[in-house]
Amino acid sequence: MSQETLSNLLQENRRFAPPPELAASANVTAQTYEEAAADRLGFWERQAERLTWAKPWNEVLDWSNPPFAKWFVGGELNVAYNCVDRHVEAGLGDRVAYHWEGEPGDTRTLTYADLQREVAKAANALLELGVRKGDRVAIYLPMIPELPISMLACARIGATHSVVFAGFSAEALRTRIADAQAKVVITADGQNRRGKHAALKPTVDDAVASTPDVEHVLVVRRTGQEVAHHERDVWWHDLVERQSTEHTAEPHDAEHPLYILYTSGTTGKPKGILHTSGGYLTQVAYTHHAVFDLKPETDVYWCSADIGWVTGHSYIVYGPLANGATSVIYEGTPDTPHQGRWWEIIEKYKVTLFYTAPTAIRTFMKWGEEIPARHDLSSLRLIGSVGEPINPEAYVWYRERIGAGRCPVVDTWWQTETGGIMVSPLPGVTEGKPGAAMRPLPGIVADVVDDQGQSVPNGGGGFLVVKEPWPSMLRTIWGDDERYVKTYWSRFEGMYFAGDGAKKDDDGDFWLLGRVDDVMLVSGHNISTTEVESALVSHPKVAEAAVTGATDPVTGQAIVAFVIPRGNAGADVDGEEFVAELRDHVAKTLGPIAKPRQIMVVPELPKTRSGKIMRRLLRDVAENRSLGDVTTLTDSSVMDLISTKLPSAKSED
Ligand code: WT7
């Protein structure tokens, strides 16, 4: 073999077998892998039968014009009908769809029958505003029930929604509204954030001042704060409340555009990722059933993500509702009014299935294990992770401190572009390894390849690719087919390349190693930031770590690390001794090649609004450069905090 693509340094020998009770009644068994491999399209066809179709498809997959896929060709269905009405028709109208919990402690319970009425009213309201099938509607709402209701109302009438996370700026909102040419924007006066009212409407006013396509702004009253009134504005309580609770859902084509969701990743102009109807709903319903082992009669499921991200679209709204699940939605932040709020919610609603992100888990590690320990989390039976590689230490902390050592952890790899989970353990089948996303799900053909596109042997590292189309794949980038082809399908002939580095361990299981743009080239070795971060986090005094490569005259790039100590780490974490101890710890764990040149102890790390560490900015700091674009940061003041901590890294200019 030529030069290794990505080093495989981290060794991890802990193993966790599925709990026997879970395995005994698991929704999906080992046999499914073989069935799906033997007849992939037949497998997906059977999964599509979970849904109610108004007209059956005549072809499962049309891949005659790659990479433009069509799934369930000729089939027709209504996504909102599948998520709501059919459960009511099946006699489940009284089942709770959402237990909603506001940050100030107000609550709302929506049964499937309630949801049906609310969605019908909202659909009728959109029609009254002139929204028609094929139009785009931008949604800029906090985590309140009107958010999923608005999405479902769009789906119902065949309007394509574009949800924009309610933390984005006016400029980010404006470019997204303009790119999608949205006709209506749905927003709120404000939202509850950390015990305060944060305004939203002025941001929308700003954004739509220069978006001529917007005809109306529909405004939910949430906080009651003052808002400016423009002629295009309509209050939700004036318009929606007086609508009929009846609306007949018409079927739409399987390939009808369901939504656009903009993703910027950590760099670049946002891409409008387009998802369609039948294939998308099939895969999110199936994976929610399979990966979470959902038993809709008894489970209470909570995904802590914001609906403004794809995780919320697929695993708060479409997947769980298609499956008739009971879910929790929480409006606010995890530390309001105290750092145990999430655990209080799990205790209150007796949550059985919980899905969150490594960034949250590492924050809880930093706050200390005594906080979750004060709550009764015994209802939990399975816990999941998504969004970033989960470091083995964070996985084990999550399993023990939240999952009481009993709950399997499912580390799920996927992307805005993939629409649904692609690589993940199956909780009743897979022996879990801390830090590994394990195997492609049944029906998914993914691999790790070298820079020539050749499959790497076990023990090797390279690029994660998907080799066959899958039902919930993005169909294109909105308005830019060429960019779609170029971004995802041109690196390796005939394969979808996701941008992530990965390795196969000796058993052939997959470990995600972070974005390939983040890989460091140190003395001729490609070293993954994830592995070095995991080694740092495995030190008992480290809660979180971010690693980047800085130019180095000797080694090409040198490893520079930023670490946040754990809450209980003591006072000596600022000294040189601590840094020396950490450098040695990494050298011992991964080998001397991975020893960081420099380690800085910091109070916070720069993160995107969805919680991913922005290593690019840390590289700027490490290379003494002035900072690049910080507009996607959650809180740009963390960069000041970091820079003042680092006399050596201060810019000269
Ligand atoms: C990127 C996609 C998928 C919903 C949330 C993020 C990283 C995601 C994992 C995981 C390692 C992961 C990848 C991916 N990522 N899940 N389990 N292990 N990395 O959606 O914002 O589109 O980000 O998140 O780098 O490419 P997204």
pLDDT value, residue 527: 95
Please say if the pLDDT value at position 253 is more than 50: yes
If one looks up domain 539-651 in CATH, what number appears?
3.30.300.30
Question: Could you tell me if the CB of 386 is within 6 A of ligand 1?
Answer: yes
Q: In the sheet that 461-466 helps form, which strands lie side by side, from edge to edge?
A: 446-449, 461-466, 496-504, 510-515
Q: Is the Cα dihedral 155, 160, 164, 169 positive or negative?
A: negative
366 is in an annotated binding site: no
Higher confidence at residue 268 or residue 495?
Answer: 495
**How many angstroms separate the alpha carbon of residue 95 from the centre of ligand 1?**
32
| Cα 576 from Cα 123, distance rounded (Å) | 62
**Cα(311) to centroid(ligand 1), Å:** 10
Q: Is residue 494 pLDDT above 70, yes or no?
A: yes
Mean pLDDT of 317-337: 98
Q: Tell me, in angstroms, the distance from the centre of ligand 1 to residue 414's CA.
A: 5
Q: Are 151 and 163 in contact (CB under 8 A)?
A: yes
Residue 2, pLDDT score = 44
pLDDT of res. 639: 79
Residue 331 in this model has a pLDDT that exceeds 80? yes
Residue-level pLDDT at 631? 65
Higher pLDDT, 621 or 398: 398
Q: Is 528 left (phi over 0), alpha (psi -120 to 50) or beta?
A: beta
As given in the structure block, the two tokens for residue 625 are: 């450069």
Check residues 573 and 12 and name the one with the higher pLDDT.
Answer: 12
Does the structure show a pLDDT above 90 at 374?
yes
* % the chain with pLDDT above 90: 89
Rg for the chain, CA atoms, rounded: 24
Q: Tell me the three-class secondary structure of 212-265, residue by residue.
A: CCCCEEEEECCCCCCCCCCCCEEEHHHHCCCCCCCCCCCCEECCCEEEEEEECC
pLDDT band at 4 (very low <50, low <70, confident <90, very high): confident
529 lines ligand 1 (CB under 6 A): no
Per-residue confidence at 646, pLDDT binned at 50, 70, 90? low
The ligand 1 atom at the shortest distance from the C-alpha of residue 437 is 17
Indicate the helix (H) or strand (E) that contains 148: helix 146-157
Mean of the per-residue pLDDT values for the chain? 94
Pocket test for ligand 1, best of 262, 284, 314, 386 (most atoms within 8 A of CB): 386
Q: Which residue, 228, 237, 181, is CA-closest to 200?
A: 228
Which amino acid residue places its CA nearest to atom 8 of ligand 1? 387
Residue 196 among known ligand-binding residues: yes
Percent of the chain with pLDDT over 70: 96
Is 95 annotated to bind a ligand? Reply is: no
Residue having the nearest C-alpha atom to atom 13 of ligand 1: 388
Location of structure tokens 């080239």: 521
Q: Binning pLDDT at 50, 70 and 90, where does residue 301 land?
A: very high
If pLDDT is split at 50, 70 and 90, which confidence band does 427 have? very high
Q: How confident is the model at residue 278 (pLDDT cuts 50, 70, 90)?
A: very high
pLDDT of residue 647: 42
Q: How far apart are CA 137 and CA 278, in angstroms?
A: 20
Task: Please check the confidence at residue 642 and state whether its pLDDT lies above 80.
Answer: no
Bridge partner list, 274: 260, 476
For every residue of 54-98, DSSP letters joined together read SB--SEEEEEEETTEEEEEET-EE-HHIIIIIHHIIIIITTSEEE
